[in-house]
Amino acid sequence: MREALPFVGHFVTRNRGTVGGSIAHADGAAELPLCLVALGGTVVVAGPAGRREIPAEEFFVTHFTTALTSGELVVETVWPLAATGE
C-alpha cells in the first residue's frame, strides 16, 4: 500500500479525493481498488437495509461497476495488517 500511494492520480486527486470515493468509483486503472483486492480487504457499505461487509474481490464486478445496491454508500474500508517484520 505504501508503495502504491505515490502513484495515485495526480497531486490534486491525492489531496482532494477520498479512499472511499476511489473504491466506490471502481476504476479498473486505479491503484486503491487493486490494492484492496490484492491485500484481501473488505468494503463496508450502508444503506436502507442496514450495513453489510463485502470482500473486495466480490465488491468489484467490472470496470466502474460494484456490488452496491440502490441507496448504498461506502462507509468504511478494512485493510488487513501486514505481517510482523514486513
Per residue in 14-29, pLDDT (tens digit) is 778 888 999 999 998 8
pTM strictly above 0.75: yes
Adjacency order of strands within the sheet including 73-78: 50-55, 42-47, 73-78
Tell me 37's DSSP state: H
Q: Answer for the pair 56, 42: CB distance below 8 angstroms, yes or no.
A: yes
Alpha carbon distance 52, 71 (integer Å): 13
> Model confidence over 39-72: pLDDT tens digits?
999 999 999 999 999 999 999 999 999 999 999 9
Using the structure block, give the residue that is written with the C-alpha cell 478494512.
Answer: 78
Using the structure block, give the residue that is written with the C-alpha cell 514486513.
Answer: 86
